């Protein structure tokens, strides 16, 4: 009998994202090809790469590139993983024990919630408040932490709302964690995908009990590399490497090679600028489409990330709505039920604009046919 809950968000995407004409659930950016990303010389180097294991915690050049993006970090502060999902799994198994309490920002990418439950931990939710433009309820967080709180789990920029914490909010959260000697663990995989073009500060360096994750799948538009990482205190990262030996052992040696190139300062800026430009252009176009319907749709503009989280005023459950659009119009949106928030849905805004608009045109047809809108 399986003791871990089905991860509904990932399962539903895996089942359907490749079987529709228009997949609007993609949470990152339209991916690069190797020819777009690399020079001819670099492709030549890649083809001469020896396909061994490499260094299992990540090549030294790659870990140095990653550590350069964080205050007070060096290559020994970094573990390279197979995507940020493995990073989350390893972090939970390193930091948590049965009976520990985890206070988690909600809505959120719910992987950590499921892992915590499987481990016999007690997850508790503190909320970003929609009625307050998705600002965190800091007073609620204060009431939830206590002697058993081992981790405060965050996602910044947030999936799915696109909210980014202010410096003051980050400091308040750190102070609350310090008060109960809890770890701050932050999923920062969307760091670098800010609409205003200014990369937000990491939690790394704000407190001695901070660990963060990152990766190349979202803000960097390189999900096929399956390259993620953990950054934290050196002794703790040494412990995470021990868990990594029991999971995937290592990320691929070619991913190490390509990832190091992607994180070189000039190339990194080129990638992030390309993606932020797409994000701003697409958000403008999607907002115009939504606003055409008046008060049918409500949303708070994201500050970062690759998606828009939308509230709708129709008498239909979000899973039913998503299923109906998928089967009738071959267009796929992510139901708010995946976040425990009915009457909402998420669409990705990091794809090619013409692709998104064609998908929205299918939704327009469907709304007219079923609701006469």
Domain boundary among 267, 285, 300: 267
Please give the mean pLDDT across all residues of the chain.
Answer: 94
Read off the pLDDT of residues 138-181 as tens digits, 9 standing for 90 and up: 999 999 999 999 999 999 999 999 999 999 999 999 999 999 99
The strand pairing partners of 124, in sequence order, are 103
What pLDDT is recorded for position 321? 96
pTM: 0.94
Q: Is residue 3 part of a domain?
A: no
Residue 42 in any domain: the answer is: no
- Residue 236: the pLDDT is 97
CATH of the domain at 323: 3.90.1150.10
Which residue, 10, 46, 77, is CA-closest to 338? Answer: 10
Same-domain check for residues 320 and 237: no
Does any domain span residue 44?
no
User: pLDDT tens-digit profile of 79-131?
Assistant: 999 999 999 999 999 999 999 999 999 999 999 999 999 999 999 999 999 99
Q: Please answer whether residues 185 and 152 qualify as being in contact, where contact means their C-beta atoms are separated by less than 8 angstroms.
A: yes
pLDDT, tens digit, 9 for 90 and up, residues 264-296: 999 999 999 999 999 999 999 999 999 999 999
Number of domains in the chain: 2
Residue 308 has pLDDT above 80, yes or no: yes
Strand pairing class (101-106; 122-129): parallel
Domain of 28 in residue numbering reads as 8-33+268-366
Q: Up-side HSE of residue 35: CA atoms within 13 Å toward CB?
A: 0
Residues 124, 12 share a domain: no
* Residues 62 and 125 placed together within one structural domain of the fold: yes
End-to-end CA distance of the chain: 46
The answer on 154 and 74 residing in a single domain is: yes
Q: Tokens in use for 14?
A: 């895996």
Three-state DSSP class for 367? Answer: helix
| 323 domain-assigned | yes
Confidence of residue 19 (pLDDT cuts 50, 70, 90): confident
Residues 259, 359 within the same domain: no
Find the CATH number of the domain harbouring 77: 3.40.640.10
Final residue before a domain boundary, out of 267, 296, 319:
267
Last residue of a domain, one of 267, 284, 314: 267
**Same domain flag for 235 and 317:** no
Query: Stretch 325-354: mean pLDDT, rounded?
Result: 94
My answer on whether 107 and 207 are in the same domain is yes
With H, G, I as helix, E, B as strand and everything else as coil, classify residue 49: coil
User: Could you tell me if residue 183 is inside a domain?
Assistant: yes
CA 134, chain centre distance (Å): 17
Q: Identify the burial level of 188 via C-beta atoms within 10 angstroms of its C-beta, where 0-12 means exposed, 13-18 middle and 19 or more buried.
A: buried
237 is a domain residue: yes
Query: Same domain for 90 and 225?
Result: yes
Q: Which residues of 135-144 are buried (b: 16+ CB within 10 A; e: fewer)?
A: bbbeeebeeb
Give residue 68's pLDDT band: very low, low, confident or very high (50, 70, 90): very high
As a three-state string, the secondary structure of 115-133 is HHHHCCCEEEEEEEEHHHC
Cβ neighbours for 276, distance < 8 A, ≥ 6 positions apart: 193, 194, 195, 197
């Amino acid at each position: 009998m399986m003791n871990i809950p089905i991860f509904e968000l990932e399962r539903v995407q895996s089942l359907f994202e490749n079987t529709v004409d228009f997949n609007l659930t993609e949470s990152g950016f339209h991916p690069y090809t190797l020819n777009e990303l690399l020079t001819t010389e670099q492709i030549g180097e890649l083809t001469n790469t020896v396909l061994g294991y490499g260094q299992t915690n990540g090549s030294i050049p790659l870990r140095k590139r990653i550590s350069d993006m964080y205050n007070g970090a060096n290559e020994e502060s970094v573990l390279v993983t197979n995507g940020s999902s493995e990073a989350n799994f390893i972090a939970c198994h390193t930091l948590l024990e049965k009976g520990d309490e985890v206070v988690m920002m909600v809505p959120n990418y719910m992987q950590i919630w499921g892992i915590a439950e499987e481990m016999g931990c007690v997850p508790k939710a503190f909320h970003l408040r929609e009625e307050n433009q998705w600002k965190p309820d800091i007073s609620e967080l204060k009431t939830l932490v206590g002697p058993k709180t081992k981790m405060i789990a965050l996602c910044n920029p947030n999936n799915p709302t696109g909210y980014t914490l202010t410096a003051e909010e980050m400091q308040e959260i750190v102070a609350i964690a310090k008060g109960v000697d809890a770890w701050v663990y932050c999923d920062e995989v969307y760091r670098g995908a800010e609409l205003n073009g200014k990369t937000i500060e990491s939690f790394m360096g704000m407190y001695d009990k901070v660990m963060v994750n990152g990766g190349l799948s979202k803000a960097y538009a390189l999900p096929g590399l399956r390259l993620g990482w953990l950054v934290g205190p050196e002794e703790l990262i040494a412990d995470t490497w021990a868990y990594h030996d029991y999971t995937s052992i290592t990320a691929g040696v070619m991913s190490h090679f390509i990832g190091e190139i992607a994180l070189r300062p000039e190339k990194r800026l080129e990638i992030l600028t390309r993606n932020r430009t797409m994000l701003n252009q697409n958000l403008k176009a999607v907002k115009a489409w939504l606003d055409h319907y008046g008060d049918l749709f409500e949303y708070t503009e994201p500050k970062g990330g690759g998606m828009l989280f939308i509230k709708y005023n129709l008498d239909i459950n979000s899973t039913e709505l998503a299923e109906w659009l998928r089967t009738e119009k071959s267009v796929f949106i992510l139901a708010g039920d995946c976040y425990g928030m009915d009457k909402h849905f998420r669409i990705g805004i990091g794809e090619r604009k013409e692709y998104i608009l064609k998908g929205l045109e299918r939704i327009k047809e469907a709304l007219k046919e079923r609701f006469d809108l």
